[in-house]
Chains A and B, each alone.
Chain A
């Protein structure tokens, strides 16, 4: 599968550069920017696998982000080592996804979108009201602290590692029978089913894989953030990040999330000064791109080529 072609050689060089980047002593700002890029990239490419390739437009990815972040917080409070916590929180997100898959995956199209939105909204309300302890400073609307400090350089490498794994996994899935099945389901579920694609199984696998990676990368992000709070973990802004990055890059294209995530990181830095306006501007960008170039930047490039 992986031969020595000019493209692969270039990617290898790029990877090597990213690996030695923290050793160059460039300052935390650029390290943070790249770290953010890895996080946004994994979230977007996973959402893209779900929405762009499998036709499951989920508006409830924050559920997995939130579940993973809360698991991370609770496990760290119990005194487990951070690395183990990251893995367990990914597994918890995947397990939660498995549970809700049985009702959700019976719904199609719009109903799936609304179902996922409803679940993430329900979780947000649940965690805002949930108070297992008597202490007023934690849980509820105040959220929980992340009781571990891992240096940014270390987190950078973990995020890069997850990023590389997810790229290989995506390529593997999209070139496999499983990936073909997913795309067949997206284009016409009934026809795919009558050709012998077990549509429920395919959708279940992809949904669980996506939620596992979403959970893992989210827990890495919150390990950096240091605090978990229901309004931010289950917030609409996470959905917006995935949506805008996928739409700009091109929904249903492999290269789209690479470009889209980079633009979103850049956009966030630009718009940081205008806190009130930033989501309005992002919304307008999505509107304009969907109406003018529905396949995003990659769509435009491919049409020209």
Chain B
């Protein structure tokens, strides 16, 4: 069977990855909360950031973390424009239109990746992404620890933003009831555009660190969409603690199934966890509890 230290190591890695997964889930949760739609291209935007950071690194020689300096504003702009000129229009058509719109954006992005970056598996390999810390007999890659620290910083910063700033409060108000938010004078149109912009900023941040940690392919987006969805289902909309719990559960599912059954089965077990979570939680999530 699997040696004990490998099992313990994978449990630790799963928990460490959980932080980043929580951030991925929070991005989806923001758009779901405010617009009541699921952005099916969420995972593909994350992979887009992996690839952009990869090109920055291989062509311009910029460190992936430094490339965030322009990835973050660029993603915010894309999110803002996408919501303002595309999703807003589809929201008014009927409840299923945004689903089809984001699905086709996802297909377009995936095939663009395939065209530009070829189907090969890529990774962001830097000097620090290969260091690992030894706690005999367990080895932990440094990047996993960095991931957790970064993720916790993002989660707390997001929490402070949503609690303290006007825009954050407006986002929370619109996610409780956008009609009531509109009545008290919140520009819900702008709030929705900001929410998608913010969600894409989160995908830029989590994308670069995911790229540093794990390899990615043009179709990895589906995998991250499923993870984000699992986190949203387990954690609930807009709950920071819930998202971290969800992230850790999804992280553990991935690493444990990878160690016990082989890497091919990872997505299968994520799917099973999501279906169970959907069954138990979908009604509660809709009612916003």
Contacts and interface: CB of A to CB of B under 8 A. Distances in A.
Given A125-B268, A129-B268, A114 B90 contact: no
A118 B226 contact: yes
Interface residues of B, number: 43
Contact of B226 (A113, A121, A276, A279): A121
Given A110-B38, A121-B267, A115 B108 contact: no
A240 interface: yes
B181 interface: no
Given A114-B229, A119-B271, A282-B107, A290 B100 contact: yes
Interface in B44-94: 86, 89-90, 93-94
Contacts of B262: 129
A254 interface: no
Given A109-B95, A122-B268, A277 B115 contact: yes
B279 A287 contact: no
Nearest to B281: A111
A114 B38 contact: yes
A16 interface: no
Interface in B125-173: none
A110 B35 CA distance: 12
B6 interface: no
A57 B105 CA distance: 17
A276 B111 contact: yes
A31 to B, nearest CB: 30
A290 B262 CA distance: 41
B180 interface: no
A290 B101 contact: yes
Interface in B26-55: 36-38, 40
B7 interface: no
A283 interface: yes
Contact of A119 (B36, B275, B285): B275
A-side interface size class: 35 or more
A280 B93 contact: no
Contact of B100 (A103, A108, A126, A247): A247
Contacts of B264: 125, 128-129
Given A108-B286, A276-B115, A287 B268 contact: no
Nearest to B232: A114
Contacts of A121: 222, 226, 267, 271
Contact of A276 (B97, B101, B114): B114
B272 A122 contact: yes
A283 B111 contact: yes
Contact of A287 (B86, B95, B99, B285): B86
A287 B282 contact: no
Given A129-B262, A276-B111, A287-B101, A294 B93 contact: yes
Top 4 closest pairs, chain A to chain B, by CB: A122-B271, A283-B108, A283-B104, A286-B104
Interface of B: 36-38, 40, 86, 89-90, 93-97, 99-101, 103-105, 107-108, 110-112, 114-115, 222, 226, 229, 262, 264-265, 267-268, 271-272, 274-275, 278-279, 282-283, 285-286
